[in-house]
Every structure is written in structure tokens, then in C-alpha cells.
Structure 1
């Protein structure tokens, strides 16, 4: 609003006339000198507009600015709360990272239908599924063993084929900062670099049951329920080792080798000591 030449009254300097003003300052000419004031803060404290219509308009401006000020303060408070929350989460994350102990079965294998496969290789993430019963019924399964040393194996079988023909479709290391204990939505994201998808020809050579065995029932090859199961670290190393030779594209083969090297380093496995696969299919 334009206040130039508007008459004002100051508690100490008396009457004056506005000669300049902008969004933050106002200058008033009094009888003997000019004075500058903070705009619009000075009004209501030191200055009073004598023009009632202008005073009413100014009051609306002041009210609007007060609302905006309160909004900014609220946003700052929310930002501070968010920063505190992020700081606490970061400290918790660092604590979990520092105190993490490798679990011998901290890998995960997924049973994937057609829709799961599509999401796995477009979004590069897998979903652990929903808890079916108990007090947490309806909530996503929390992958508590999964950590930075973990990889996720994507498998599938055609409905017309027996379970023993389940094929490996792809594999990825979990995201660099992922910690299963902190996962609330059940989605496990892939590492930005270590991720591999197999061609149809490659997956025909990589059968899941060549590597996996149920120690309680070593001759059985069944997947009864659930979207996933935990997987032995050495079995995953065996799969990654064999993928290096299965891959025919030089770039993919190089990535598979780097993947294996990284995995072994994260899981404290010596590549030279990886045993040959001895899954249920190998024991028939």
C-alpha cells in the first residue's frame, strides 16, 4: 500500500508526514528532522496513522504479516523437530551399524509371481508380504536379519512345472544404508550398483534347488507358504560364484565378479574357500 504523504502521529515527535517507505522501513518527516522506523512494526507501538481508511488497510497488512510470521515460526519448529528426529534415527542407525554381528543366514530368497517379477526388475525392490495372524496381523513382515551384507535372490517357477525346477531370475545386494530392523513398510531396496538380472537362457542353468536345502528334510523340495525365506550366506556366495561363469556378456560378467568380490568382503568369506553347491537337487 502507498503511504507517501500520509499524516502520522508519534508519541514523542508529534505529527509528521511519510516521505519514504518500503516493505521493511518507513521514513517520516517531522517538524525538525526525518526519522526512520521498522515497517510495519512501528505502527501500534510508536506511530499512528491519522487517516482512518489508510489505518484500516494497514491493520489488514499487519494482520496478514503476523499470520505469515506465525506460519514461518511454525515451519521452523517443525523443521527443528524433523532435524531432531533425523539425528536420533541417524544415531540409532550408526549404533546398529557399529554393533551389527553377521548372521550365518542373513540372505533372503523371494518366491515371485508375474507381478512381483515386474516390480523387482523395474523398481528394483522386493516386498516381504503381510503378517497373516497375531497382534501384528495386516502389518508388513519386518526383515530383521537383513543388513548391508545381505543380498536378495529373486526366483520363480512356471505353474505347470514342479518345484524342483524353480529358477533364479536375478539377485541384488540391499541398499547401502538399509537395516532390516528399521524397515516399516516391508520393501527391501536394491543397492545402486550390485544388481543382476538373468536372461531366460541363463536362468535355465541356475536352478534354485541346486543350492538350497532344508536341513531337516534334505530330500524334500517344497515351498509351502510365505513370500520369502532366509538363506545361508555361503549358499548365496555359491550362486554369485556360478553367475560369473554363466554370464556371457563381458560387462555383465565383470559386474558379476565385482558383485561376488563385494559380497565376500561384506560377509567375511574367502572366495577360495567357497564350497561347491550341494543343494537338494545335488543329493538326489
Structure 2
């Protein structure tokens, strides 16, 4: 709005007229001197426009500006609340990470159905399934053993093939800051670097039952329910060791080697400990 030459009154300086103004300041010529004021704030407290129509319009501008300021302050406060909440979650997460003790079976072997075989490598994550009974029926399974040292072994069984022919499709370390006990949605995301997909020829040479053994029934190869099983850290290290030897592409072999080294470091495993397994 144009306020040039508009008459105003100030409690101390008396009557004057506007000679300059912009979005942040206004200059008034009074009888004795010129004075600068903050615009439009001064019209809310110190200055009064003589023209009532201009005064009403300016009042709406001030009102809109104050509403915007209150909205900005509210947003800032909400952002601070969110930052504080995230900070609390980070501190809780760091505390749990520091107090975590390695479990001897903190690796996951996952059953990929037909659709999941594609999505697992496209999105590099799996869903742990839902609880089938009890008070928490329908809620996602919480993969509580998984931690920074954990890897997820992706497997599949071709249609009409016996369970003993379940193939290993690939493997990934869990995301760097993943903590299974805090996983509420059942999603297990992959590490930003350590993730490997096998070719069909490589997969045919790595059958999961050559490594994964059911503790209670070591000679029984069955998987009737559930999306995943936990298994031994050493077995996962052995699988990674064999993937290194299977990879012929230099870049993939180098990544597999780095994966193995990282895995062994995270699980405090030396290469001398790797078992020589008798495949079933």
C-alpha cells in the first residue's frame, strides 16, 4: 500500500506525514524533525493514520503478519520438540547399542516367496511377517536378535521342489543403525554397502540346508511356518567365505571379500574359526 503524504499522529511528536516507507521501515516528517520507525509495527503501538480506510487496511496487514509470526513460532516449537524427541531416541538407541552383547545365533535365514524374490533385491529389505496367535496376533514379528553384527540370508524354494533343494539367493548385512528390539514394523533394511546377490548358477551351488541345521532336529529338513529362522554366526561366516570363492567378477569378489571381513570383525570371528561343514 502507498502511504506517501498520509497524515499520522504520534503521542510525543504530534502530527506528521509519511515521506518514505518500505517493507521494514517508515519515515515521518514532523514539525521539528524526521523520524524513522519499524514498519508496520509502529502503527500498532505509536502511530495512528488519519485516513480510516488506510488504517483498517493496515490493521489487516498487521493482523496477518502477527498470525504468520505465531504460526512460524508454533512450527519452530514443534520442530524443537521433534528434535528433542529424536535426540532422546538416539540416546536410547546408543545406550542399547553399547550394552548389546553378541548372541551366538544372531543371523537370519529368510524365506522369499515369488514376489519377495524380486522386491528383496529391488528394495533391499524384507518383512519379518506377522504374529499368528496370542495377544499380539496380527502385529509384525519383532526380529529381536538382529543387530549391527547380523546378516540376512535370502533363500527360496522352486515350485514342487523338496525342501532340501532350497537355494541361497543372496545376503546382506542389516542397516548400520538397525536394532531388532526397537523394530516395530517388522521391516529389516539392508546395509548401505554390504549386500550381495547371487547369479542363478552361483545360487545352484549354494543350498541353504548345507549350512542351516535345525537345532532340535539336525537331520530333518522342514520349514512349514514363519518367514525366518535364526542361525549360527559361524555358519554365516562360512557361507560368505564360499560366496567369495564363487564370485568370478573382480569387483563382486572384492565386495564379497570386504563383506566377509566386516562380518567377521562385527562378530569377533577369526578366519581360523570357520568350520568345514559337511553338506547334507
CA–CA distance in structure 2, aligned partners of residues 59 and 52 of structure 1: 10
Quote the residue 2:20 is aligned against. 20
Quote the residue 2:57 is aligned against. 57
Say whether residues 1:35 and 2:43 are aligned partners: no
Quote the residue 2:264 is aligned against. 264
Quote the residue 2:184 is aligned against. 184
For residue 44 of structure 1, give the secondary structure of its aligned residue in structure 2. Answer: helix
For residue 43 of structure 1, give the secondary structure of its aligned residue in structure 2. Answer: helix
CA–CA distance in structure 1, aligned partners of residues 21 and 277 of structure 2: 82
CA–CA distance in structure 2, aligned partners of residues 2 and 132 of structure 1: 71
The CA deviation at 1:214 is 1.1
Which aligned pairs between 1:97-136 and structure 2 lie closer than 5 A? 97-136=97-136
The CA deviation at 1:56 is 1.0
Quote the residue 1:159 is aligned against. 159
Quote the residue 2:173 is aligned against. 173
The CA deviation at 1:195 is 0.6
Quote the residue 1:196 is aligned against. 196
Q: Is the 8 A contact 2:26 2:39 kept in 1?
A: yes
Moved over 3 A (4+): none
CA–CA distance in structure 2, aligned partners of residues 7 and 129 of structure 1: 74
Quote the residue 2:222 is aligned against. 222
Say whether residues 1:277 and 2:277 are aligned partners: yes
CA–CA distance in structure 1, aligned partners of residues 23 and 131 of structure 2: 58
Q: Is the 8 A contact 2:9 2:48 kept in 1?
A: yes
CA–CA distance in structure 2, aligned partners of residues 85 and 124 of structure 1: 28
CA–CA distance in structure 2, aligned partners of residues 67 and 118 of structure 1: 51
Q: Is the 8 A contact 2:109 2:155 kept in 1?
A: yes
Q: Is the 8 A contact 2:44 2:62 kept in 1?
A: no
Could you give the per-residue CA deviations for residues 211-248 of structure 1, whole angstroms, max 9, x where no partner exists?
A: 01112111110001011111211111111111111112
Aligned length: 280
Quote the residue 1:207 is aligned against. 207
For residue 61 of structure 2, give the secondary structure of its aligned residue in structure 1. Answer: helix
The CA deviation at 1:83 is 0.8
For residue 185 of structure 1, give the secondary structure of its aligned residue in structure 2. Answer: coil
The CA deviation at 1:138 is 2.3
For residue 102 of structure 2, give the secondary structure of its aligned residue in structure 1. Answer: coil
The CA deviation at 1:10 is 0.7
Question: Taking structure 1 as the reference length, what is the TM-score of the superposition?
Answer: 0.96
CA–CA distance in structure 2, aligned partners of residues 260 and 69 of structure 1: 55
Cα RMSD, aligned residues only: 1.1
Structure 2 unaligned blocks of 5 or more? none
Inter-CA distance 52–185: structure 2 relative to 1 (3 Å threshold): same
Quote the residue 1:255 is aligned against. 255
Could you give the per-residue CA deviations for residues 18-62 of structure 1, whole angstroms, max 9, x where no partner exists?
A: 111112211111111111111111113111111111011111101
Q: Is the 8 A contact 2:175 2:191 kept in 1?
A: yes
Q: Is the 8 A contact 2:152 2:173 kept in 1?
A: yes
Structure 1 unaligned blocks of 5 or more? none
